[in-house]
């Protein structure tokens, strides 16, 4: 299988670094360009010593981001840039014939008005929205395979959508009243020199933030609405916890059917199991836990996996679903590479196991 030439624009943050790691070791990727205003001129090995033993990391130098130059050197371009900025690169790169996988929020939300409501500025390239595909491979594989512009999902949305979508689509749970309570490691905040993310401010600290209206709600609600075929509003509460990586999400859902007795509960349990199994039987990165096992971020950190477990609570009539993922891999760069694999006809797991 031939290799493709790959560039990463904005490779100095945590998800950029993770992209570098994955693409340096990818059997079908030839990483030819990485850009960073801050580090231009330095090698990847100098900035990320953990890759220093890789010959390409020692040879490849960060450059200033220049669209023409990138397009000349790469067939596929990953954008690991802030929202608003990403769209400015996507448009000319597409025009120059590149395929673009954008890790920012710029193309995730289909409706420019919703984008403006959540991101507080006009959408920078609304004309590209129709062609953008939401890069959740377990859900949109067919579209991803034909796409030239991928809007790779956010870390929180992935942790909510993969456990929630099959249930909502199947009608097993009500699409209303859903609550997602999420805990994220500090790398989710990015490599930003801000007091709030200093070691001393995060270690031995746990705190909610962005409550009640976090930006990621926009894409979560959009995708749940598509699945439910009606407009869905959910409750989403993110918290910051002192780990480097990992998101643990706990979902509170209301089954459509009451399960007052043991028989009804057993039947519902079986339906949920079947719903998940049929949704994910061919999904190499979704692990449905069995028996007494519950998700634990330490089981998935460094991998592109998401763990999912659920419990019915006869006392409250609710369904609790829990998921664990690595926010930088399945929640960002790993998922983006998974889309690249699909777009390029590579095995979905190439470079990800």
Q: Look at phi and psi of residue 174 and say left if phi exceeds 0, alpha if psi is from -120 to 50, else beta.
A: beta
Q: Based on the shown chain and the rule CB under 8 A, indicate whether residue 60 belongs to the binding site for a second copy.
A: no
Active-site annotation holds for 155:
yes
How are strands ordered across the β-sheet holding 235-240?
207-208, 235-240, 179-184, 247-253, 318-325, 306-313, 286-288
Q: Based on the shown chain and the rule CB under 8 A, indicate whether residue 156 belongs to the binding site for a second copy.
A: no
How are strands ordered across the β-sheet holding 99-102?
62-63, 29-35, 4-9, 76-79, 99-102, 149-151, 133-134
Residue of 343, 300, 164, 173 lying closest to 236 (CA atoms): 164
- The answer to whether the Cα torsion of 125, 126, 132, 138 is positive or negative is positive
Site for a second copy in 37-56 (CB under 8 A): 49-50, 52-54
| Cβ at position 171, least distance to a second copy in Å | 21
Q: Based on the shown chain and the rule CB under 8 A, indicate whether residue 136 belongs to the binding site for a second copy.
A: no
Site for a second copy in 195-234 (CB under 8 A): 195, 197-209, 211-213, 233-234
Cβ–Cβ < 8 Å for 74, 8: no
| Cβ at position 238, least distance to a second copy in Å | 10
Specify the residue, 59 or 142, whose C-beta has the smaller distance to a second copy: 59
Site for a second copy in 166-185 (CB under 8 A): 177, 179, 181, 183, 185
DSSP character for 106? T
- The answer to whether the Cα torsion of 314, 315, 319, 323 is positive or negative is negative
Q: Based on the shown chain and the rule CB under 8 A, indicate whether residue 84 belongs to the binding site for a second copy.
A: no
Q: Find the binder of a second copy among 172, 248, 279, 340 (CB under 8 A).
A: 248
Q: Based on the shown chain and the rule CB under 8 A, indicate whether residue 152 belongs to the binding site for a second copy.
A: no
Q: Based on the shown chain and the rule CB under 8 A, indicate whether residue 255 belongs to the binding site for a second copy.
A: no
Binding mask 269-298 for a second copy (x = CB under 8 A): ---------------xx-x-x---xxxxxx
Q: Based on the shown chain and the rule CB under 8 A, indicate whether residue 9 belongs to the binding site for a second copy.
A: no
Q: Based on the shown chain and the rule CB under 8 A, indicate whether residue 341 belongs to the binding site for a second copy.
A: no
Specify the residue, 128 or 268, whose C-beta has the smaller distance to a second copy: 268
* CA 111 – CA 117 distance, rounded (Å): 10
Cβ–Cβ < 8 Å for 111, 90: no
Tokens for 176? Answer: 């209303």
Exposure string of 233-254, with b = 16+ CB inside 10 Å and e = fewer, is: ebebbbebbebebbbbbbbbbb
Specify the residue, 193 or 263, whose C-beta has the smaller distance to a second copy: 193
| Cβ at position 146, least distance to a second copy in Å | 27
Catalytic residue among 98, 155, 202, 275: 155
Q: Find the binder of a second copy among 33, 93, 301, 343 (CB under 8 A).
A: 301
Q: So which residues are the catalytic ones? A: 155
């Amino acid at each position: 299988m031939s290799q493709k030439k790959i560039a990463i624009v904005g490779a100095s943050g945590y998800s950029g670094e993770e992209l570098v790691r994955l693409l340096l070791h990818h059997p079908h990727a030839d990483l030819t360009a990485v850009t960073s205003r801050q580090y231009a001129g330095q090698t990847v090995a100098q900035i990320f010593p953990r890759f220093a033993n890789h010959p390409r990391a020692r040879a490849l130098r960060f450059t200033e981001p220049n669209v023409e130059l990138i397009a000349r050197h790469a067939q596929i371009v990953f954008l690991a840039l802030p929202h608003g900025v990403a769209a400015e690169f996507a448009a000319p790169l597409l025009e120059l014939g590149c395929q673009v996988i954008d890790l920012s929020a710029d193309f995730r939300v289909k409706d420019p008005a919703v984008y403006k409501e959540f991101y507080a500025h006009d959408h920078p390239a609304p004309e590209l929205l129709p062609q953008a595909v939401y890069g959740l491979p377990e859900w949109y594989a067919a579209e991803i395979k034909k796409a030239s512009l991928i809007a790779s999902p956010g870390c929180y949305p992935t942790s909510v959508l993969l456990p929630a979508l099959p249930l909502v689509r199947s009608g097993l749970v009500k699409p209303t009243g859903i609550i997602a309570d999420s805990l994220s490691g500090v790398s989710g905040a990015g490599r930003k020199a801000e007091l709030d993310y200093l070691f001393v401010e995060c270690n031995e600290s746990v705190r909610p933030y962005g409550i009640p209206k976090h930006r990621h709600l926009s894409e979560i609600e959009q995708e749940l609405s598509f699945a439910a075929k009606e407009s869905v509003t959910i409750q989403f509460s993110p918290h910051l916890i002192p780990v480097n990586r990992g998101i643990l999400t706990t979902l509170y859902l209301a089954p459509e059917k009451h399960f007052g007795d043991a028989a009804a509960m057993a039947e519902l349990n079986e339906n949920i199991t079947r719903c998940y199994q049929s949704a994910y039987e061919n999904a190499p990165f979704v692990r449905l836990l069995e028996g007494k096992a519950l998700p634990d971020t330490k089981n998935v950190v460094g991998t592109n996996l998401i763990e999912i477990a659920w419990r019915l609570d006869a006392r409250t009539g609710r369904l609790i679903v829990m998921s664990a993922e690595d926010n930088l891999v399945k929640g960002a760069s790993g998922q983006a590479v998974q889309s690249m694999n699909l777009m390029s006809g590579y095995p979905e797991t190439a470079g990800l196991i």
